[in-house]
Amino acid sequence: MNLQGLLTVLVDGLAYGMLLFLFSIGLSITLGLMRFVNLAHGAFAMCGGYLMVVLAGRLGLPFLLALPIAFAGTGLIGIVLERTLITHVYRKSELQHVLFSIGLAFVAGAIANILFGPQQQPIPLPGWAEARVNLPGTWTTGYRIFVTASGAVALLLLLALFQRTLFGARVRAAVDLRGTAESIGIDVSRLFALTFGLGAACAGLGGALAVGFLGLDPSFPLKYLVIVLMVVAIGGPGSILGSFVAALFLGTVDALFKYYLPATGSFVIYALLVASMIFLPNGLTRWRRG
Amino acid sequence: MHTQDIAPSSRRRQALRIGFAAAAAALGLSSAPAQAATDLVVGVILPLSGTFADQGAHYETGMRLYQEMHGTQAAGRNIKLVIKDDQGPGSGDLARRLTQELIARDKAELIVGYSFTPNAMAAAGILTQAKTPGIIVNAMTSVLTEKSPYFTRASVTMPMIAYTQGKWAASQGRKTAYVIVSDYGPGIDAETWFIKGFEAGGGRIVGKDRTPLAATEYGPFLQRAIEAKPEVLFGFNPGGDVSIAFMKQAGARLKGTGIQLMVTGDVVDENLLPAMGDAADGVISALHYQADIDNAANKAFLKAFQAKFGADKLPSYRVVQGYDSMALIHAALGKTGGKTSDEFMEAIKGIRIDSPRGPISIDPATREIVENIYIRRGTMVNGVAVNKSIATTEAVKDPAK
């Protein structure tokens, strides 16, 4: 048993899992809390990525300054889209959600193609991101540490927001009994717009961080859709902690199988998905009673 | 009432339209013999929309550039390009139908195109039936030229690149190598022929992995490779974001291990280098074109290219493939006096031209291209890696034939 190899693979898998968590958490929120099937979710991640390319790449802003702008900018775009388009679709059937949002994803890809062209986008990473960081028994890059830390911080903030604040309590109330929530003076449509924007912003942050190691082109919204849906399905829609556990689990299990049994390739995680759909149809944990 | 009113007048209009059509056809017929003597339609099939639109634009640039530099006249015939979009790989049926349409409807006498193997495969039968020569502008699978006696190639085959690179690596005194390729046709070709070349030169393979085609996480595979302690890590993947992810992760992981990273030249394609950053620094690759090649044809080609697109732009190997497709057509027509079909195929066998990539010829026995393969090393210039040629293997034939 090679301990160093195992640790290295685990640390890398962890960073990848954190990225998956950031990608998928917004979808988990909109799907689980707002019951809106948003297959255009990847478009928000792509939007964050392109914002990063423009801000850090073309305008030369520092990486750490560009990142929060990409987060907030994507969130704003999310809110505008929610107010103008998506709000009309909530009451429609789920099939219409799917058709509408997949169309939106294609439109987003086409717009990115017109604005930025079909090629891969370069992004300059700061020196600390490329630097080697020694850990006990292994090492990784500064960037992977940063991605892992960002995921952990996002998890804590979101958990606190939804479970410890008035905003979170209102969202949960509005989801469970919309009519009652409105009758006691909660502005549900504004609340939903903010929640949707928050989900989009998280995806934007994930996308902005992804450019550094996954690359970015206009096919991004659909390329990562499957893995994001897997995270949400295994984690349980609406469960922040569930998505977190599922994303880390997929990231590390995938890495471990590729390391020890490369011939199984990416097959294992799909088998896991099938197994979880059969034995845990509601996902790993349910934060709300479904 | 209304319908009755309209019917006669629309019938009258229809009669008028037929009359015009007949008149136009008569005019067309009368001028047809004169036109056929001069115009020669070259049907062009490239991916011009979707994910691979970028590639298609490069070939088209090369073809147009040739016409701008050398004119459109060859052996008394005026060459016209009719360009169609086959939308990238996985559209063999579309490539086949476009080939048929170009030959039947547009009267194309020559076809240039096929960026991807499946599309060329699908069109092979049509070319054979119609006896229409087809110049493969890119698709790199060795077996393609055997699928139709009317196929020839203006690009390169994967075995030519990978075998040459393997042999060169061994000739540099490297004894052991690990191979990581994407798990699909060209990846398996690259793996097979790199290993053959490396072993022929006396090297030994210490391990190999095949990765899922769209994988963007290579940590586990790289860790396996590092533990096998090879002197060389050879990689191949399909370009785009997959190659960027591979190169970035390999660049970070291999730093300080003393393992030399080698990839086929298309992995470190010039238009991907900015996104790879310094991960491409020091990486050795092999390819059939290199912008810094020193010959008269390349100088003229670069000058025309940069005059059109800017002094800081460099043409990719795909631009050269488009350019050379036209050069092959002009050279062969010169030999046949403007005749196409079987005469054209006879003329193209053994033909030699001075291409920007150095001398190229078509092997008379296999109709396969014979050309130099350049070994290059990534070198940082102003924050972006540039591939600089460090060795040349001349007149490489496809080792798979």
CA distance A84 to A197: 13
> Considering only CB atoms, which chain B residues are within 8 Å of A8?
219, 223
Query: Are A120 and B255 in contact (CB < 8 Å)?
Result: no
The Cβ of residue A180 has, within 10 Å, a number of other Cβ atoms equal to 11
Label residue B34 by pLDDT band (50, 70, 90).
very low
- In tens, the pLDDT along B267-309 reads 998 878 888 888 899 999 999 998 888 899 999 999 999 999 9
Instruction: Inform me whether the pLDDT recorded for B5 exceeds 70.
Output: no
Query: Are B252 and A16 in contact (CB < 8 Å)?
Result: no
Nearest CA in chain A to B279: A130
CA distance A20 to B178: 30
SS3 B214: coil
- In tens, the pLDDT along A115-127 reads 987 777 878 788 8
Q: What is the pLDDT of residue B14?
A: 57
Residue A105 · residue A39 · CB < 8 Å: yes
Using alpha carbons, list the distances in angstroms from residue B200 to B160, B161, B165, B264, B401: 14, 15, 11, 18, 17
Nearest to A31 by CA among A238, A290, A241: A238
Q: What is the pLDDT of residue B4?
A: 41
Q: What is the pLDDT of residue B137?
A: 95
Could you list the pLDDT tens digit for every one of the 290 residues in chain A? 577 788 888 888 898 899 999 989 888 888 887 888 888 899 999 999 999 999 998 898 999 999 999 999 999 999 999 999 888 888 888 899 999 999 999 999 989 988 987 777 878 788 888 788 888 878 888 888 999 999 999 999 999 998 899 998 888 888 888 888 889 888 888 888 999 999 999 999 999 998 887 778 888 888 888 888 889 888 888 888 889 999 999 888 888 888 888 777 678 888 888 888 888 777 776 544 43
> Considering only CB atoms, which chain A residues are within 8 Å of B271?
119-120
Interface of A with B (CB under 8 A): 2, 5, 8-9, 12-13, 16, 113, 117-125, 130, 132, 141, 212-219, 223, 254-256, 258-259, 262, 265-266
Label residue B31 by pLDDT band (50, 70, 90).
very low
Which two structure tokens, joined as six digits, stand for B131?
């006896």
> Considering only CB atoms, which chain A residues are within 8 Å of B256?
132
Q: What is the pLDDT of residue B2?
A: 44
Nearest to A255 among B52, B220, B271 (CB): B220
CA distance B224 to B257: 13
Beta partners for B44? B83, B112
Q: What is the pLDDT of residue B13?
A: 54
Nearest CA in chain B to A252: B220
Beta partners for A135? A138
Beta partners for B380? B385
Share of chain B above pLDDT 90, in %: 58
Instruction: Inform me whether the pLDDT recorded for B121 exceeds 70.
Output: yes
Nearest to B160 by CA among B373, B394, B375: B373
Label residue B156 by pLDDT band (50, 70, 90).
very high
Length of chain B: 401
Nearest to B215 among A218, A219, A266 (CB): A266
- In tens, the pLDDT along B354-390 reads 999 999 999 999 999 999 999 999 999 887 888 998 9
Q: What is the pLDDT of residue A248?
A: 92
User: For the range B226-230, what are the long-range contacts, defined as Cβ-Cβ under 8 Å and sequence gap of 24 or more?
Assistant: B226/B253, B226/B254, B226/B257, B226/B259, B227/A2, B227/A5, B228/B178, B229/B176, B230/B176, B230/B177, B230/B178, B230/B206, B230/B259
Mean pLDDT value across residues B235-240: 86
Strand order in the sheet with B151-153: B73-74, B77-85, B39-46, B110-113, B134-136, B151-153
More confident residue, A264 or B135: B135
- In tens, the pLDDT along A54-92 reads 999 889 899 999 999 999 999 999 999 999 988 888 888
- Percent helix, strand and coil across chain B, each to the nearest 5: 45, 25, 30
* Average pLDDT taken over every residue of chain B: 87
Q: What is the pLDDT of residue B16?
A: 53
CA distance B214 to A177: 43
Q: What is the pLDDT of residue B79?
A: 92
ipTM: 0.74
- In tens, the pLDDT along B61-120 reads 999 999 999 999 888 899 999 999 988 777 788 999 999 999 999 999 999 999 988 899
Q: What is the pLDDT of residue B3?
A: 40
> Considering only CB atoms, which chain A residues are within 8 Å of B272?
120
Distance from CA of B246 to the nearest CA of A (A): 9
Mutate to test the interface with B, among A6, A14, A120, A250 (most CBs of B within 10 A): A120
Q: What is the pLDDT of residue A238?
A: 80
